[in-house]
Amino acid sequence: MSFQPVVLWSDALLFVLIAVIVGLSLWARRQDALRGAWARVARDRVAMAAATVLAVFVLIGLLDSLHYRARLESPAGATARYAVEVNSALDALLTDLRSRTEKTYSAPLATHLFAREALENSTQREFPRLQHGGAQLGDELSGHEADIAVRVLRGVAGGLVAWLLLMLLVRTATVGSGGTALRTVAMTLLPILLLFGVAISLGGGYHVFGTDKVGQDVLYLSLKSIRTGLLIGTLTTLVMLPAAVALGILAGYVGGWVDDLIQYLYTTLSSIPGVLLIAAAVLMMQVVIDTHPEWFATSAERADARLLALCLILGMTSWTGVARLLRGETLKLRELEFVQAAQAFGVGSFAIMRRHILPNLMHIVLISLVMDFSGLVLAEAVLSYVGVGVDPTTISFGTMINTARMELAREPMVWWSLVAAFSFMFTLVLAANLFADAVRDAFDPRSSA
């Protein structure tokens, strides 16, 4: 076998979460109320467009979660040896972007470095040629603009051909039901495929978004940052959801000293500044990781441990809002006739909470989770910017912004790393917010009334 599969803890949890989502989707199809609500979401063109964009981000994140260690060359009959570096399927697909590094900064689609240097056999400081960017031009730099134009047209043509093939499949599939949703998805994929085609065509000869301080391709770093944002936005729910649902329902239904205790708990947590609490917890976890290096076989496992610790800490500090919301709704539900009838017939408290209270709160849970996703993605960027987020070796939007912030004061300004990170993060957060608005409108009884 030419590689050794590696399953990090974050990978396993992500795949478990996806399996749970698929299971819940199959269960929701058998529930008339849920099926009708999701049908309203599917009829919303903005929601389906946002869902398509999110699906593209999720696909990139899943490719980046299939990790492996490449097999090293060894004599015939010898024991197989594997590289220490852990790569992903996305790294394999982006091998050219990953391997074509330059000396330092270069602007998008440039052929020379961004800073002047003293060259050999020259008394003046000049802009050195890039090793890879525009190398196909040779010494004929006069054809730089024409080469970019040809590559853009070639990428547009390739993306358009891919979209037309997809449209043929969609036209065949839309003979029955679901035509509106599929057509919206297809129309949303048109600009996405065009952008992908242009990026692939230009990326074969240039650095589309330039390079950073150590010469890495910024487009590659931006694509690698997607997985970190998705993990922070999704895995945190595995920590937050059980505590928020259980404590919120208990406080609202049982009342008394249980309600007082839970209120005291989430009020205390809410009163502590979130950044300070997260920073203290992350620093303590980092001390544990540094003092036990034997726990981790590779640097990827070490960085993954800090990422999971950040998800755990964010979950422990972000469940209070959902719990407070569920408590208030449970206080209202426990006074309704069907709950009082169940109590009169002697049904146990836990059975009532499981059969009558929880199903009537699921729309609130779903709305809260979808709307909190974008907030968690932004939280990672902020925390990594101030130095208490993910491991420095983990590529994320926050680390990209943190690396680029010192270069904003130089003249001329190095702007492309910040713009690339912001553009990808803005697109992800905007799509999540638009989809959350549609889910809220579809599942909120007051909106559908």
pLDDT in tens, 29-82: 787 777 888 888 888 888 899 999 999 999 999 999 998 888 877 776 677 777
Main-chain dihedrals φ then ψ at residue 367, nearest 5 degrees:
-60, -45
Helix (H, G, I), strand (E, B) or coil at 137: helix
Euclidean distance between CA atoms 373 and 234, whole angstroms:
7
Q: What does the block give as tokens for 392? A: 């420095």
How many CA atoms are closer than 13 Å to the CA of 213, on its beta-carbon side? 13
Contacts of 432 (CB under 8 A, 6+ apart): 50, 54, 233, 370, 373, 374, 377
Q: Is residue 439 pLDDT above 50, yes or no? A: yes
Say what the pLDDT of residue 334 is. 86
What is the band of 446 on the pLDDT scale with cuts at 50, 70, 90? low
- State the average pLDDT over residues 409-416: 80
Contacts of 68 (CB under 8 A, 6+ apart): 3, 4, 5, 6, 86, 87, 88, 89
Question: Mean pLDDT over all residues of the chain?
Answer: 83
How many CA atoms are closer than 13 Å to the CA of 262, on its beta-carbon side? 26
355: which DSSP letter?
A: I
Say what the pLDDT of residue 194 is. 93
Contacts of 408 (CB under 8 A, 6+ apart): 414, 415, 418
Euclidean distance between CA atoms 408 and 353, whole angstroms:
55
pLDDT higher for 406 or 133? Answer: 133
What is the band of 408 on the pLDDT scale with cuts at 50, 70, 90? confident
Q: Is residue 350 pLDDT above 50, yes or no? A: yes
Euclidean distance between CA atoms 321 and 236, whole angstroms:
14
Euclidean distance between CA atoms 205 and 213, whole angstroms:
20
What value, to the nearest 5°, has the Cα angle with vertex 399 and ends 394 and 403? 130
Tell me the C-alpha to C-alpha distance, in Å, between residue 119 and each of 112, 122, 124, 136, 143: 13, 6, 7, 22, 24
Helix (H, G, I), strand (E, B) or coil at 18: helix
Residue of 21, 49, 24, 48 whose CA lies nearest to 34: 24
- Tell me how crowded residue 152 is: count the other CB atoms within 10 A of its CB: 14
Q: Indicate the range of 248-252, 407-411, 432-436 predicted with least confidence.
A: 407-411
Is residue 3 within a helix (H) or strand (E), and if so which, with residue range? strand 3-6
Burial (CB < 10 A; 0-12, 13-18, 19+), residue 95, is exposed
pLDDT in tens, 282-336: 888 878 888 888 878 778 888 888 888 888 888 888 888 888 889 998 988 888 8
Tell me the C-alpha to C-alpha distance, in Å, between residue 16 and each of 11, 20, 55, 239: 9, 6, 17, 13
Say what the pLDDT of residue 123 is. 65
Say what the pLDDT of residue 445 is. 56
Say what the pLDDT of residue 333 is. 87
- Tell me how crowded residue 76 is: count the other CB atoms within 10 A of its CB: 4
CB 398 within 8 A of CB 384: yes
What value, to the nearest 5°, has the Cα angle with vertex 389 and ends 384 and 391? 100
Contacts of 31 (CB under 8 A, 6+ apart): none
Is residue 368 within a helix (H) or strand (E), and if so which, with residue range? helix 362-385
Q: What share of the chain is helix, strand, coil (3-state, %, to 5)?
A: 70, 5, 25
Q: Which long-range contacts (CB under 8 A, 24 or more apart) does 68-73 make?
A: 68/3, 68/4, 68/5, 68/6, 69/3, 69/4, 69/6, 69/298, 70/2, 70/3, 71/1, 71/2, 71/3, 71/4
Counting residues of the chain whose pLDDT is more than 90, the rounded percentage is 13
Euclidean distance between CA atoms 95 and 330, whole angstroms:
53
Euclidean distance between CA atoms 398 and 424, whole angstroms:
12
105 conformational bin, left if phi > 0, alpha if psi -120 to 50, beta if neither: beta
pLDDT in tens, 197-237: 999 999 888 889 989 888 889 999 999 999 988 888 888 87
pLDDT in tens, 323-347: 888 999 898 888 888 888 888 888 8
